[in-house]
Amino acid sequence: MSDELAVLGIECFGHHGVFDFERREGQPFLVDLVLGLDTAPAAASDDLQQTVDYGSLVAAVKTAVEQDPVDLIETLAQRIADVCLVDPRVHWARVTVHKPDAPIEATFHDVALTITRRTERD
């Protein structure tokens, strides 16, 4: 199977980080998703019920980012991957969490972590 569904640049606001001011003030996070799934059933039927509803998925991802602060983007990325893998049609998920306003004492463009997780059913 080689089909991939991508949703890139999901804008969220969260209170994640190891510093008190990050937890208190919050900051923007951007999320990129790439999901591995078989889109042939949806293509054949032209039926949304046969594929991942990316509108609902994005809402669930935003909720996952905007609640329950954690220290590390590694933890946040795993939480997002878990949300993506709930749908049994998703075989794997590649999640990138961008933290563009990370508290670093240098000029930089972005901090990003990418993880790939597979379901145990595959």
Residues belonging to the active site: 99
Distance CA 41, CA 15 (A): 39
Query: What are the backbone dihedrals phi and psi of residue 117, each rounded to the nearest 5 degrees, phi first?
Result: -125, 145
Residue 59's CB is within 10 A of a number of other CB atoms, namely 12
Distance CA 41, CA 16 (A): 38
**Among 76, 54, 59, CA closest to 11:** 59
Distance CA 89, CA 56 (A): 14
